[in-house]
């Protein structure tokens, strides 16, 4: 090997003063030793190489000093952060159980600060990490306990969801309540994201399966042949929609009544025909009772006995099994207390003994039960004892139910729209009659609204049919109408309206415009009609008749 020339220089390091430069220097020295072993050593070249390596090593020494200083600074920073973390845990030990999610967020912030505190040696980091983990576990103990309890609660919710999903009929309200409990648990305590997702999927799966099963059953019901009850409801709903398209109020109401009757008569249509005999028996007994109620006592007893015999014979022929006779009703005897104006109170007190004198508290005067007394409940008949039980209407199919609901909603909207249109047309007709001074064309009071009585309608008709009065009174009446209706007044009449309002404030005992607006309308109708007054009157009447 030719030693007269120095070895080929290594490429310049990418970052001077780093660990990479130190490693390169070590490799170059080792390579020089290998060359000296294979060839004769060259002292001159070695001296030049050693000087160059020493200059490069000065940069490495500077870097090593810097690294040691940074390591000492990072160590001090981590010790300071550890002490601060332990002090914070002791200060917030009492508040840990109150806001668990807030404690989790703060612990996450502390972990981020510890992670970014700086690099130290592996040996030093192991000791510091053990101290940090011990302090962290002590502070996060309430969170970990709450997470364990939350996981147990969520597993119990999963079991409840499985029980609800396995039921024959899915309880929607119970499912909503269960989902709300799950959300409340998720908002209160946060757990590991992967575990939370796994529990959520286990909770959602049985409910999704139950809803899918319900949807498939609904689809099967939709494709299944309709019952007679569903067909009747669908036909009635179609009749309601047809009446709505025609825009006839009477036809819409008749169709709605027919739809409601078709929905209610579902149970009657499926009832067996053999139930006619008990119905006829009850009808005969009721008829006998009504006949007995209008006759003399002797005739009553005879009629009731005859009706009872006929009813018993009919029942015996129809059903051989013995039927228990109903208990006889207690006779109702009306008693009248001597409460005439001239009767002294002493006799009244003797006739009706005092409850307080007998030591019975909570009773009203004159033998009546007090408002807080509960003794009267025992003497009352049970609620609904005199009413016959309602027949259970069969459940409508999904198609019939939706058709019925949509038909009723559309009918209500159509009736309101037609009523509004009819009311607007009545107002226009009233204004036309005012402009033509033709009392015969005034719309009836029923079309104008319930706020108009017959006497007030007659007054309006007479005002239109009579001769035109002074317009000054009509202007003030228009202002009173606008104040009563709370509608805006034209700009040119605003000063007069403010003056009228001030005048009304000084008249404490005078009737307000809200109380006299019907008479004010009569004053306006008695005056000559013009376009401005007609528009103002129409705006006021729209608001007043709608209230």
Reading the chain (547 residues) residue by residue, the pLDDT tens digits are 444 444 444 444 434 446 677 677 777 877 877 777 777 777 777 777 777 777 777 777 777 777 788 778 888 888 888 888 888 877 776 665 666 777 778 888 888 888 888 777 778 788 888 888 888 887 777 778 888 888 999 999 999 999 988 888 888 899 999 999 999 888 888 888 898 899 999 999 999 998 998 888 777 766 667 788 888 888 999 998 998 888 888 888 899 999 888 888 754 544 443 344 444 444 444 443 443 334 433 434 433 334 444 444 344 444 444 445 555 555 656 555 555 555 555 444 444 444 444 444 444 454 455 544 444 444 444 444 445 455 556 677 778 888 889 989 998 988 888 777 766 777 887 888 888 888 888 888 777 777 778 888 888 888 887 777 777 778 888 888 888 888 888 898 898 889 888 888 888 788 888 888 888 888 888 888 888 888 888 888 878 877 6
What pLDDT sits at residue 336?
54
How far is 202 from 26, CA to CA, in rounded Å? 60
How far is 436 from 434, CA to CA, in rounded Å? 5
Please tell me the pTM assigned to this model: 0.37
Contacts 24+ apart (CB under 8 A), 272-275: none
How far is 373 from 116, CA to CA, in rounded Å? 76
What pLDDT sits at residue 386?
47
> Which one, of 127, 129, 93, lies nearest residue 114 by Cα?
129
H or E element, residue 94: none
- Give the 3-state secondary structure of residue 402: helix
Q: Are the C-beta atoms of residues 474 and 536 closer than 8 Å to each other? A: no
- Please name the residue that has the structure tokens 């009447």: 541
- Give the distance from CA 301 to its chain's centroid: 60
DSSP state for residue 363 in the 8-state scheme? B
> Which one, of 12, 4, 66, lies nearest residue 35 by Cα?
4
Q: Are the C-beta atoms of residues 474 and 526 closer than 8 Å to each other? A: yes
Tokens of residue 408, six digits: 């009723």
Q: For residue 525, which phi and psi values (nearest 5 degrees)?
A: -70, -25
How far is 435 from 431, CA to CA, in rounded Å? 6
CB-neighbour burial class of residue 113 (10 A; exposed 0-12, middle 13-18, buried 19+): middle
- Tally the C-alpha atoms within 13 A of residue 309's C-alpha that lie toward its C-beta: 5
How far is 128 from 336, CA to CA, in rounded Å? 99
Bridge partner list, 363 = 369
Instruction: Rounding to the nearest 10 degrees, give the CA dihedral for residues 116, 119, 123, 125.
Output: -10
> What is the chain's percent helix, strand, coil content, to nearest 5?
70, 0, 30
Q: Are the C-beta atoms of residues 500 and 480 closer than 8 Å to each other? A: yes
- The residues, ordered by sequence, that sit 6+ positions from 370 with a Cβ below 8 Å of its Cβ are 362, 363, 364
What pLDDT sits at residue 114?
83
- Tallying the residues shown for the chain, one arrives at 547
Q: For residue 501, which phi and psi values (nearest 5 degrees)?
A: -65, -40
How far is 187 from 207, CA to CA, in rounded Å? 21
What pLDDT sits at residue 140?
76
- Give the distance from CA 451 to its chain's centroid: 36
For the chain, what is the largest distance between any 2 Cα atoms, rounded to a whole number of angstroms? 157
Bridge partner list, 369 = 363
Q: Are the C-beta atoms of residues 460 and 516 closer than 8 Å to each other? A: no
What pLDDT sits at residue 23?
76
- Give the 3-state secondary structure of residue 369: strand
- Give the 3-state secondary structure of residue 165: helix
């Amino acid at each position: 090997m030719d030693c007269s020339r120095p070895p080929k220089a290594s490429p310049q390091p990418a970052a001077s003063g780093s660990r990479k430069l130190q490693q390169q220097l070590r490799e170059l020295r080792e390579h020089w030793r290998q060359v000296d072993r294979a060839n004769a050593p060259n002292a001159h070249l070695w001296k030049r190489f050693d000087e160059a390596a020493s200059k490069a090593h000065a940069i490495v020494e500077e870097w090593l000093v810097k690294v040691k200083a940074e390591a000492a600074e990072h160590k001090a920073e981590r010790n300071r952060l550890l002490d601060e973390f332990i002090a914070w845990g002791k200060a917030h030990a009492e508040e840990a159980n109150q806001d668990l999610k807030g404690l989790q967020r703060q612990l996450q912030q502390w972990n981020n600060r510890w992670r970014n505190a700086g690099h130290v040696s592996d040996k030093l980091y192991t000791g510091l990490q053990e101290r940090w983990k011990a302090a962290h576990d002590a502070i996060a103990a309430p969170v970990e306990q709450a997470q364990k309890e939350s996981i147990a609660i969520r597993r119990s919710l999963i079991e409840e969801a499985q029980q609800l999903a396995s039921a024959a009929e899915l309880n929607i309200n119970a499912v909503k309540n269960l989902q709300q409990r799950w959300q409340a648990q998720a908002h209160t305590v946060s757990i590991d994201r992967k575990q939370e997702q796994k529990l959520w999927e286990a909770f959602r799966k049985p409910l999704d399966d139950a809803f899918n099963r319900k949807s498939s059953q609904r689809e099967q019901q939709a494709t299944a042949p309709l019952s007679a009850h569903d067909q009747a409801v669908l036909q009635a709903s179609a009749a309601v929609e047809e009446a709505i398209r025609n825009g006839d109020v009477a036809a819409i109401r008749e169709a709605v009544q027919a739809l409601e009757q078709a929905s209610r008569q579902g149970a009657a249509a499926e009832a067996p025909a053999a139930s006619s005999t008990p119905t006829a028996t009850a009808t005969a007994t009721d008829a006998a009772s009504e006949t007995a109620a209008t006759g003399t006592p002797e005739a009553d007893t005879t009629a009731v006995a005859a009706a009872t015999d006929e009813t018993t014979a009919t029942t015996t022929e129809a059903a051989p099994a013995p039927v228990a006779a109903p208990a006889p009703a207690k006779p109702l005897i009306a008693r009248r207390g001597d409460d005439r104006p001239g009767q002294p109170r002493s006799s009244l007190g003797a006739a009706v003994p005092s409850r307080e004198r007998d030591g019975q508290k909570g009773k009203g005067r004159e033998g009546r039960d007090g408002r807080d007394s509960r003794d009267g409940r025992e003497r009352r008949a049970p609620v609904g004892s005199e009413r016959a039980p309602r027949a259970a209407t069969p459940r409508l199919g999904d198609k019939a139910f939706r058709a019925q609901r949509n038909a009723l909603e559309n009918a209500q909207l159509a009736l309101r729209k037609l009523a509004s249109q009819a009311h607007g047309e009545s107002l226009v007709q009233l204004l036309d009659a005012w402009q033509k001074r033709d009392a015969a064309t005034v719309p009836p009071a029923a079309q104008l609204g319930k706020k108009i009585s017959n006497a007030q309608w007659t007054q309006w008709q007479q005002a239109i049919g009579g001769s035109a009065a002074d317009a000054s009174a009509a202007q003030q009446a228009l202002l009173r109408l606008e104040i009563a209706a709370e509608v805006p007044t034209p700009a040119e009449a605003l000063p007069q309206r403010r003056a009228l309002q001030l005048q009304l404030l000084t008249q404490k005992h005078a009737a307000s415009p809200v109380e006299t607006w019907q008479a004010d309308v009569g004053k306006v109708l008695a005056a000559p009609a013009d376009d401005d007054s007609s528009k103002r009157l129409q705006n006021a009447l729209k608001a007043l008749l709608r209230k």
